[in-house]
Amino acid sequence: MKMETNKIYNMDCLEGMKQLPDGSVDLIVTDPPYFNQGTKPKYSRKGKKDVETNFGSWDKFETDEDYLEFMKEMIKEMCRVLKEDGSLWVFTNDRYISYLRHYIRAFEDMTYASTIIWHKYNSPPRFIMKAGFISSKEIIMFAYKGKNPTFNKPKDFKEMLDVWITTQTPAKERTGHPTQKPLSLIKKLIDTSSNPNFIVLDCFMGSGTTAVVCIQTGRNFIGYEINKEYYDIAVGRIQSAKSQTLLSQPSAEGSLIGIKRKPCEVSQIPNGTSLNSDIKLNPATQDLKIFP
């Protein structure tokens, strides 16, 4: 089975990636399971309803060792399919980051570059603790292969900070997926580490956020989502994004993965500015600002 770009597959991501050639994707942006149930499956609150951390079968593992073995194999395959000078962005939590960072550094051609703290300033309290702090952060690991990764800095900033402050996923974007990320956050990752017509892989596509951003920004995508409910949601969002976007597809639908990239076609936005120009988001439609 040959994988096609601009398509997502309702299948296990490890099985899917094993069908991809070595060095076939430019960028990987993915949000794997955190194994939150491994921390504590349920929090009890006196006089209030218990808070469960059961996100679904995709976040269930028998032990820490089982989870880490799964992630080790995931990282191995992601590093294999990543092109030279390609980048890797992986969401995680602070419980397992030291292990995952070690797995990435085990590959001689991979450089672990940064640990990004994503602070959600409007994160709601889940329960009241006698001693402790409400979690309002997630972690994003940034690594790359080779020596010269694509890294597009915003023109207004000489350096970018490793703490990014945003809201949670805006209400108008929510699909019902329990760990959905904001479009603007994923866009920052894709804008930073890719150019138009690059191939972006998301191993855990969820409700399709990465694919939607790729369509909006002129990138190609490929992804996997094992949950049929979320896969169907993602397919619907992709179809909607394709019908709404004014950006033309950077390559023909269904191109085989692993082919050499063609020169990017110049697309136009409503005011006639080319895709290669500095495109400013409309403040009226931009849900939030990420502070570099």
Q: Domains along the chain?
A: 7-244 (3.40.50.150)
First to last CA, the chain: 41
> What average pLDDT does the segment 182-205 reach?
96
pLDDT of residue 47: 60
Q: Is the confidence at residue 282, as pLDDT, over 70? A: no
Task: Give the separation between CA 209 and CA 221, rounded to whole angstroms.
Answer: 11
More confident residue, 77 or 268: 77
Residues 6+ apart with CB under 8 A from 31: 90, 91, 179, 181, 202, 204, 206
Average pLDDT, the chain: 80
Task: Give the separation between CA 267 and CA 196, rounded to whole angstroms.
Answer: 10
**What is the pTM for the complete model shown?**
0.77
More confident residue, 258 or 84: 84
pLDDT of residue 267: 33
Q: Give tens-digit pLDDT for 254-271.
A: 555 554 444 333 333 233
> What average pLDDT does the segment 24-34 reach?
95
pLDDT of residue 44: 60
Closest CA to 91 of 35, 31, 38, 33: 31
Per-residue pLDDT band for 244 (boundaries 50, 70, 90) equals confident
Residues 6+ apart with CB under 8 A from 229: none
Q: Give tens-digit pLDDT for 213-225.
A: 999 999 999 999 9
pLDDT of residue 170: 75
Q: Find the helix or strand (DSSP H, E) in which 51 lies.
A: strand 48-52
* Measured CA angle at 206 (ends 134, 248), to 5 deg: 120
